[in-house]
Structure 1
């Protein structure tokens, strides 16, 4: 695998770059087009992880951080990618990705939030657009090329050469954006403080990585000078308050990622997270009665959403649907609980209830790719192929694949017997076609 460091061309800066230029916070159609192209490349790596809880968690914490940014209305979205390297990136139209290796290398939720606040600052300050203006280059294409090269096993020599050329071009222009790292450090630290996370989280994370042999790819695109780390430490030390402790959700997701990467449970000091992982391990091994024993022991001391979701999943596999739904219902406002609740109905041959639940949620929320795919499968089960195609189309839109989405909508038109649904599908096709046409008119 080619490991070319990607992370939005994160760069060093000199200690005197202290004045922040006024950011252009408007989003153009050009940015949307670039973001859509970038999104397709991310999904085409096949590295976006399928675990709904992890994706929902990352989006939740990322969106929460964005409310404390300099432009809360700015479009942002977050994706977790299955890659052991310590890396993260910010692309056009606010798409931010985090590698699983980045989350696993964090020692606290504040450190993870620090990485996200840093990337969000690049977005709100329009660093990618500002870099492109200075260099007269479509920087997002370079970043996308570096991302694809880093994440995809690439045996094609010509593709490898092209990826190396992209990386080289980016490296030659690295000096144009040195001040961006300092801006992101300072703005991100303020964002952390406002959100209730320890503002030193970002500085501690960067300082820790200086001597980490596993962080070389990150450090190539995030060179850390002594002055920059020292500045971040001093800035965060001036901010005081009662900061948030690590959530059980963060701890459980990190433990699950470690489990899947190493094939074993990591020894934990916290008894609750140990019980959680013992239950999860038994669940993965399909030893559902053993998993039940562990989860019941956990619930006596921990009533977190993560614990109830795992309990619901275990009882669903045991065929105890009513008990499973009781656990999901305690936290049914979140997408993870809704998703697994609908899946439990599916597993226990009560498909219509699953459709009703998930459809109601997705009417009010955009939802993840995984939720739309599950609803599509539920509709297939009851023979409602038109609606199955519709939700496959919506899933493709979330991947930036607009033309493929139109093809799915067209299939839905040919299979539906409802005039109302036929008309709605037509409107969706027209909307996507108009969007594609607008993109084609752009340079």
Structure 2
């Protein structure tokens, strides 16, 4: 079926039928935005250190960021699959790289950016830090739970540096509080904010943008705002401006060179701009009150992003029938766009109709074969339907998805339920252990892994998976 709108056709096009490797990132989350977005984003370094970063998963947003980042990574000479992008549920504008393998990007980066090139510019700058080996390497053997606390330390170190730079003692003390505690990891410099390295990352970003044919104007817009914010109290400045200080003189030098690029006046493709606007609308709808959504996208706005935002807001606040009606209107405009079917399935699943959710999730997967997010959604709906006839198919879907997305807490939890209902107690215990591992709860994971291993045949893949969990050494309690 063809699209009824030319802009939709340019934007959506055929979806490639390849399984994404992008989903193989450590996360304490499920498969979709509303199931895992906390009620309030944690923004302070101290809270992040105690509770872990509020991370989110969303197939559509990840797909967009992958499209932005892939050519930049290639231009930087980074091997395919080396860098994984992790979404942070925070509306402030911030991004950082703790090592050579992960790039953390706040939802606020997308929500604040008016154009794709603004986000691409941030990715290019962070890639410059990775390619330039500006980062002190974190211990490769760090567990997921350790990594979460390390990220809090990273942000604390950034706040301390920013406080010292701006002369704001309260910020410096707050940052110091986040990185104290006696840990040897906390004594490392996870990120370097030396001006030379920031300038080097700037220049590298310009090279990458020129190679891939993207205007540097977006990056300049972001950095100009950062340079302007340096004039105000640091407590009102975006975290990105604190951890990546942009003095006016450095911005002027960057601007002079950027304007000489042959793509400086090039506009972002309409197709990419529409995809950006769609994701931006989606994120606002999932992270804001319905009233805020309607202020940003009033009924008189008939654009597709506006209708998308209002449909999601309705899904979260209105009766199911009203929400489905709005989503069906979207599907009528873009019948080949898989994420509209995902939203419909999610509305039905969360609205207490899991069996009805199977059809839209199956359609989303048919349009985007191999997508692990959709496979987990579909398996979830099948398990939740309480229809035994779906259990074997659900188990197959969830097992296949978890080979590609090994850190989906919800995926493992649903697989555990499916295994238990099929009479596979050992498989249920193993999946439960893996769910706890995805959450960062090693102690609980090992308890279930031990129980699973006792019922498994020695040397089998399942037995080995349980053994891998049991082989993780628990940290020793600190003596006082």
Q: CA deviation at 1:117?
A: 2.3
Contact 1:409 1:425 in 2 (8 A): no
Q: 2:368 aligns with which of 300, 319, 331?
A: 331
- CA offsets 1:91-148 (integer angstroms, 9 cap, x no match): 024222222333322222221222222222212222113999xxxxxxx998642436
**CA 1:218–1:312 in structure 2 vs 1: closer, same or farther (change >3 Å)?**
same
Q: How far, CA to CA, are the matches of 2:243 and 2:100 in structure 1?
A: 20
- The secondary structure found in structure 1 opposite 2:79 is coil
Contact 1:49 1:82 in 2 (8 A): yes
**CA 1:174–1:398 in structure 2 vs 1: closer, same or farther (change >3 Å)?**
closer
**Which residue number corresponds to residue 271 of structure 1?**
303
**Which residue number corresponds to residue 298 of structure 1?**
330
* TM-score, reference length from structure 2: 0.65
Contact 2:96 2:126 in 1 (8 A): yes
**CA 1:277–1:147 in structure 2 vs 1: closer, same or farther (change >3 Å)?**
same
Residues 1:123 and 2:130 aligned together? yes
- The secondary structure found in structure 2 opposite 1:97 is strand
Q: CA deviation at 1:81?
A: 1.9
**CA 1:321–1:79 in structure 2 vs 1: closer, same or farther (change >3 Å)?**
closer
**Which residue number corresponds to residue 53 of structure 1?**
59
Q: 2:394 aligns with which of 354, 378, 383?
A: 354
Contact 1:121 1:187 in 2 (8 A): yes
**Which residue number corresponds to residue 312 of structure 1?**
345
Q: How far, CA to CA, are the matches of 1:401 and 1:419 in structure 2?
A: 25
Q: CA deviation at 1:413?
A: 1.0
Q: How far, CA to CA, are the matches of 1:176 and 1:97 in structure 2?
A: 17
- The secondary structure found in structure 1 opposite 2:340 is helix
**CA 1:286–1:338 in structure 2 vs 1: closer, same or farther (change >3 Å)?**
farther
Contact 2:227 2:248 in 1 (8 A): no
- CA offsets 1:198-238 (integer angstroms, 9 cap, x no match): 44322221113434574343322222123332343344441
Q: Which runs of 5+ in 1 are unaligned?
A: 1-40, 133-139, 152-157, 438-443
Contact 2:94 2:105 in 1 (8 A): yes
Q: Which runs of 5+ in 2 are unaligned?
A: 1-46, 140-147, 160-172, 475-480
**Which residue number corresponds to residue 168 of structure 2?**
none
Q: CA deviation at 1:431?
A: 4.8
**Which residue number corresponds to residue 409 of structure 1?**
449
**CA 1:402–1:247 in structure 2 vs 1: closer, same or farther (change >3 Å)?**
farther
What is the RMSD computed on CA atoms of the aligned residues?
4.2
- The secondary structure found in structure 2 opposite 1:255 is helix
**CA 1:221–1:322 in structure 2 vs 1: closer, same or farther (change >3 Å)?**
closer
Q: CA deviation at 1:263?
A: 0.6
Contact 1:149 1:163 in 2 (8 A): yes
Residues 1:285 and 2:317 aligned together? yes
Q: How far, CA to CA, are the matches of 2:302 and 2:237 in structure 1?
A: 27
- The secondary structure found in structure 2 opposite 1:320 is helix
Q: How far, CA to CA, are the matches of 2:393 and 2:77 in structure 1?
A: 42
**CA 1:150–1:209 in structure 2 vs 1: closer, same or farther (change >3 Å)?**
closer
Question: What aligned pairs does 1:32-431 form with structure 2 within 5 A after superposition?
Answer: 45-53=51-59, 56-57=62-63, 60-61=66-67, 64=70, 65-73=72-80, 75-129=82-136, 144-147=152-155, 162-163=177-178, 177-195=194-212, 197-211=214-228, 214-237=236-259, 238-240=261-263, 243-245=268-270, 246=272, 248-264=274-290, 265=293, 266-268=295-297, 269=301, 271-285=303-317, 287-302=319-334, 303-314=336-347, 317=351, 319-321=355-357, 323-324=359-360, 325-349=362-386, 350-364=390-404, 366=406, 368-395=408-435, 405-414=445-454, 416=455, 418-419=456-457, 423-428=460-465, 431=468
Q: How far, CA to CA, are the matches of 1:126 and 1:331 in structure 2?
A: 36
**CA 1:91–1:393 in structure 2 vs 1: closer, same or farther (change >3 Å)?**
farther
Q: How far, CA to CA, are the matches of 1:255 and 1:141 in structure 2?
A: 31
Q: How far, CA to CA, are the matches of 1:175 and 1:361 in structure 2?
A: 37
